[in-house]
Amino acid sequence: MKFTRYERARIIGARALQIAMGAPVLIDAGRKEPIDIAIMELEMGVIPITVKRTITENKKISL
């Protein structure tokens, strides 16, 4: 799934906060800053966070 820059920033920020508060790191990153670890986890696709998008009625979607 491709994230918007706002979704990406929100996911990285939330995950970095979790790591800073003591959550287990999901990759072997060594000693790095929480923000760097969160970016690496997002790029590797191991963060267990989902994004729920809503579609308004004004947008037309062709499938």
Q: Tell me the pLDDT of the chain (63 aa) as tens digits.
A: 789 999 999 999 999 999 999 999 999 988 899 999 999 999 999 998 888 888 777 666 666
CATH of region 1-63, choose from 3.30.565.10, 3.90.940.10, 3.90.950.10, 3.30.300.30: 3.90.940.10
Residue 38, pLDDT score: 95
**Predicted local distance difference test score (pLDDT) of residue 60:** 62
Tally of CB atoms within 10 A around 2: 5
CB-based contacts of 36, cutoff 8 Å, min separation 6: 29
Yes or no: say if 46 and 27 are a contact pair by the CB < 8 Å rule: yes
Q: What tokens appear for 35 in the block?
A: 């923000």
Tokens of 2: 């491709």
What is the pLDDT, as a whole number, of residue 63?
61
CB-side exposure of 8: number of CA atoms within 13 Å?
Answer: 10
